[in-house]
Amino acid sequence: GPIYYRNSFESRSTTFSMNGATTTKVLPIDPCFYKPRGISRTGVSSVRVNIVNDPEHSRNGVYSAKISGSAISVSAAKFYYKIAETKIRVKPNMQIRFWKFPVDEVGKYTFVDLHFKSGRVLSDLLGDTNLNGTKMHPDITSGNIGQWSNYIYQIGEDELIGDEITGI
């Protein structure tokens, strides 16, 4: 089926002419971040979300999104960050797919989540498990440190059909 949003965070060096001058710049190929912003933060400091040139931690290519910070709470540390605003209508049989590479134990709590126009958040909906039966929620660990894991979640069913994905 069609791909409604794709992002490998890749950039490439390109030479172009503008206003009579030739310039070489590194520019994004994919949408990368579109109107990014922190949504909420509890019990964390020094939080950073960047697109980095790090082939060792990139699934394909040389760029990846890197989330880092320090937990300053022993009871709860959470950070929600919107990498992109979107306007994608949910259709039957749609899926969200992503790869994750935790570099430490805390990285196992990281997920890609979706916000909907209706105010719902995918990870808070009951029964949202991936095709391997893993619940998608930042309170539950998944994946193995130092290994890539593929996550596929069915979103094009039941009450989400016709809703609109407004943020990733």
Instruction: Kindly report, residue by residue over 142-166, the tens digit of the pLDDT.
Output: 889 999 988 888 888 788 899 999 9
- 4 pLDDT band (50/70/90 cuts)? low
> Which SS3 state, helix, strand or coil, does residue 122 take?
helix
CA-nearest of 99, 81, 89 to 162 is: 89
State how far the Cα of 152 lies from the Cα of 147, in Å rounded to an integer: 16
Q: What is the pTM (predicted TM-score) of this model?
A: 0.78
Q: Report the percent of the chain where pLDDT is more than 70.
A: 88
CB 38 within 8 Å of CB 46: no
Q: What is the DSSP letter of 115?
A: E
- 1 pLDDT band (50/70/90 cuts)? low
Q: Quick one: pLDDT at residue 147?
A: 93
State how far the Cα of 78 lies from the Cα of 95, in Å rounded to an integer: 25
Q: Quick one: pLDDT at residue 116?
A: 94
**Residue in the structure block whose two tokens are 């949910």:** 90
The average pLDDT across 95-109 equals 87
Which of residues 33 and 6 earns the better pLDDT score?
33
State how far the Cα of 75 lies from the Cα of 54, in Å rounded to an integer: 32
